[in-house]
């Protein structure tokens, strides 16, 4: 049995686990690996020995006692297993083999409340627990993800050297992702896309919000594509070129880049373009729903992110939509003669909507930190999203700059850069939404983002009538504009004479 030579251990050798293990080994750290099925471990080790330059630093183990014994104390053990019950079961079988002071790191897409519970339970038993968001998919895991760890500062100090080594790197001056990592040849230099997020479940909460933003980012891009396709009648490759052009400007991002590639991909099984053959039903794994649910619970108006979740739900009703398409009719599509002007307007609509979507995400995190007692550094969060993760974009450097200018910024839309971008783009944004509505083309994300912008900038909203309605039918009380805030009244509405009383 190999004893106490591994710097870190990893349980769970699905695709993400394998790639993260290789990333760790590439950076000079010896790693012990274990999987519930020994055949999986043997296969992984055999592949490493054939194909991986860093294979000598990967130690395969076939039992938990062997696995734990192979790791230096205090042991650092990463779990990359299915979130939920499987994580709890893995922890339960692992703990009897550990010593006080050992650190368990959950790198799955765990619900933050589960992470808070696990951290409390393990701390009470003398162990440490870190819940770390890991974003970037299998490629990020292999060559550099964005890592969002939450837990005690002492546990983070033990994990930090490895997490900083394996995280994505960005240019210190521009924030642009550094690229070119190869197996056995990791990147050096740059700023690592990881930082201690906060206590207990903070890391997994921030990762969840990242995923909620990812949902709306993708939906906005899809709506832009759909408008160009139907209003201009262009083929997919021509639309892909538009996205390629956009990727050279303020919209530059990983999602815009891959959209350009996707739209220009020809169908390998026939004529035309692959995107036109892909079924229009979108899947989801639940983190977008968690984000929307948390926003409702926190009372944060994250309507655009919720619309992205509902859009996926609507797409799943494929058979019903086919039937409804025959029964329900909309307007005829207009003829658009000025293609460059329309594309410029859609670009403005996309950028303005993106600002609102991110504003909602950061507003949600700001409220959650009050609820859970965290102290989140929003400039740092934007920094570690600049590389490795799915939403990485030049745009995030602007968010980092905004929080450097004003660490107490209430809403991204109030930052001078984003305020000016919204002011200069809103006319085209409104025209695009209006044209889409008149044309019968659904743009729920564009529309809900615009409604958020208009609602947030309104010093008066029709909620005065709503409050009166609530008091009328349920005696829920109301406040008056000519009285101090926090002073409530009730009117005996059906009575005569009608008497207002202070409550």
- Do residue 94 and residue 221 come from a single domain? no
Structure tokens at 284: 């989801």
Q: Tell me, what CATH number does 221's domain have? A: 1.10.1040.10
- 2 located within any domain: no
For residue 470, give every residue at least 6 positions away whose Cβ sits within 8 Å of its Cβ, in sequence order, or none.
476, 478
What is the dihedral angle through the alpha carbons of 213, 219, 224, 229, rounded to the nearest 10 degrees? 160
The 10s digit of each residue's pLDDT in 256-277 is 999 999 999 999 998 999 999 9
Question: pLDDT grade, residue 2 (50/70/90)?
Answer: low
- Do residue 448 and residue 400 come from a single domain? yes
- Do residue 265 and residue 293 come from a single domain? yes
Structure tokens at 108: 């799955």
- Do residue 406 and residue 272 come from a single domain? yes
- 1 located within any domain: no
Quick check: 1 pLDDT over 50? no
Q: pTM for the full model?
A: 0.94
The 10s digit of each residue's pLDDT in 407-419 is 999 999 999 999 9
Has 250 been annotated as catalytic? no
- Do residue 155 and residue 221 come from a single domain? no
- Do residue 255 and residue 332 come from a single domain? yes
What DSSP character marks residue 178?
Answer: P
- Do residue 351 and residue 445 come from a single domain? yes
HEC per residue, 217-247: HHHHHHHHHHHHHHHHCCCHHHHHHHHHHHC
Q: Which residue has the higher pLDDT, 67 or 287?
A: 67
- 167 located within any domain: yes
3-state secondary structure (DSSP) of residue 407: coil
Listed in order, strand segments (DSSP E) in 136-188 are 146-150, 169-170
Domain boundary among the residues 185, 200, 215 is at 200
The 10s digit of each residue's pLDDT in 377-434 is 999 999 999 999 999 998 999 999 999 999 999 999 999 999 999 999 999 999 999 9
Domain boundary among the residues 175, 200, 225 is at 200
- Do residue 440 and residue 480 come from a single domain? no
- 243 located within any domain: yes
- Phi and psi at 359, nearest 5°, equal -60, -40
- 176 located within any domain: yes
- 3 located within any domain: no
Query: What is the extent of the structural domain holding 491?
Result: 463-502
- 149 located within any domain: yes
- Do residue 332 and residue 294 come from a single domain? yes
- Do residue 342 and residue 209 come from a single domain? yes
Strands 488-491 and 500-502: antiparallel
Of 119, 214, 223, 307, the active-site residue reads 214
For residue 206, give every residue at least 6 positions away whose Cβ sits within 8 Å of its Cβ, in sequence order, or none.
133, 148, 150, 197, 365, 376, 381
The 10s digit of each residue's pLDDT in 14-57 is 999 999 999 999 999 999 999 999 999 999 999 999 999 999 99
- Looking at the chain, the whole-number percentage of residues with pLDDT higher than 90 is 90
**Cβ contact 358:399 at 8 Å:** yes
- Looking at the chain, the whole-number percentage of residues with pLDDT higher than 70 is 99
Structure tokens at 183: 């197996």
Q: What is the chain's percent helix, strand, coil content, to nearest 5? A: 55, 10, 35
Within 10 angstroms of residue 469's Cβ, the number of other Cβ atoms is: 14
**Cα–Cα distance, 225 to 358 (Å, whole number):** 20
Residues linked to residue 47 through DSSP beta bridges, in sequence order:
none
Residues linked to residue 104 through DSSP beta bridges, in sequence order:
77, 129
- Do residue 284 and residue 214 come from a single domain? yes
Mean pLDDT in residue range 155-168: 97
- 425 located within any domain: yes
**Cα–Cα distance, 174 to 42 (Å, whole number):** 43
**Cα–Cα distance, 68 to 155 (Å, whole number):** 18
The 10s digit of each residue's pLDDT in 100-125 is 999 999 999 999 999 999 999 999 99
Has 62 been annotated as catalytic? no
Q: Tell me, what CATH number does 39's domain have? A: 3.40.50.720
Report the sign of the C-alpha dihedral through residues 305, 202, 298, 359, in that order: negative
- Average model confidence (pLDDT) across the chain: 94
The whole-number pLDDT of residue 177 equals 85
Domain boundary among the residues 166, 183, 200 is at 200
Q: Tell me, what CATH number does 491's domain have? A: 1.20.5.320
Sheet containing 500-502: order of strands: 478-479, 488-491, 500-502
- Do residue 426 and residue 468 come from a single domain? no
Q: How many distinct structural domains can be found in the chain?
A: 3
Of 207, 229, 354, 398, the active-site residue reads 207
């Amino acid at each position: 049995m190999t004893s106490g030579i591994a710097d870190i251990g990893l349980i769970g050798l699905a695709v993400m686990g394998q790639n993260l293990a290789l990333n760790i080994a590439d950076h000079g750290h010896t790693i012990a690996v274990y999987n519930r099925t020994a055949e999986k471990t043997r296969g992984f080790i055999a592949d490493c020995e054939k194909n991986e330059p860093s294979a000598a630093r990967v130690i395969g183990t076939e039992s938990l006692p062997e696995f734990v014994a192979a790791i230096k104390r205090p042991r650092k053990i990463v779990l990359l297993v299915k979130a939920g019950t499987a994580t709890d079961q893995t922890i339960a079988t692992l703990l009897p083999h550990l010593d006080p002071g050992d650190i368990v790191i959950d790198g799955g897409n765990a619900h933050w409340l589960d992470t808070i519970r696990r951290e409390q339970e393990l701390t009470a038993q003398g162990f440490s627990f870190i819940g770390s968001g890991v974003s970037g998919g299998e490629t990020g895991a292999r060559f550099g993800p964005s890592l969002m760890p939450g837990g005690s500062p002492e546990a983070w100090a033990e994990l930090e050297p490895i997490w900083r080594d394996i995280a994505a790197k960005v240019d210190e001056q521009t924030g642009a992702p550094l690229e070119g990592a190869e197996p056995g040849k990791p990147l050096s230099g740059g700023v690592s896309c990881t930082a201690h997020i906060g206590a207990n479940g903070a890391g997994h909460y921030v990762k969840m919000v990242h995923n909620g933003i990812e949902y709306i980012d993708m939906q906005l891009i899809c709506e832009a594509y759909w408008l160009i396709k139907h209003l201009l009648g262009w083929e997919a490759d021509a639309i892909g070129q538009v996205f390629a052009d956009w990727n050279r400007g303020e919209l530059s991002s990983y999602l815009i880049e891959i959209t350009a590639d996707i739209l220009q991909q020809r169908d390998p099984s026939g004529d035309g373009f692959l995107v036109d053959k892909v079924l229009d039903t979108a899947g989801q794994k639940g983190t977008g729903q968690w984000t929307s649910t948390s926003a409702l619970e926190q009372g944060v108006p994250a309507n655009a992110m919720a619309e992205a979740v509902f859009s996926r739900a609507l797409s799943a009703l494929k058979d019903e939509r086919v039937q409804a398409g025959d029964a329900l009719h909309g307007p005829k599509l207009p003829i658009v003669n000025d293609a460059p002007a329309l594309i410029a307007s859609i670009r403005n609509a996309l950028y303005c909507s993106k600002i609102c979507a991110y504003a909602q995400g950061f507003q949600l995190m700001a409220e959650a930190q009050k609820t859970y007692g965290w102290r989140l550094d929003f400039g740092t969060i934007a920094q570690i999203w600049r590389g490795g993760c799915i939403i990485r974009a030049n745009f995030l450097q602007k968010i980092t700059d905004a929080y450097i200018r004003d660490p107490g910024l209430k809403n991204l839309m109030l930052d001078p850069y984003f305020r000016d971008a919204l002011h200069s783009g809103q006319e085209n944004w409104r025209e695009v939404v209006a044209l889409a509505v008149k044309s019968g083309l659904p743009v729920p994300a564009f529309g809900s983002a615009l409604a958020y912008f208009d609602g947030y900038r309104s010093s008066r909203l029709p909620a005065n009538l709503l409050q009166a309605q609530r008091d009328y039918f349920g005696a829920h009380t109301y406040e008056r504009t000519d009285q101090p805030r926090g002073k409530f009244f009730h009117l005996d509405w059906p009575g005569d004479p009608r008497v207002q009383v202070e409550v």
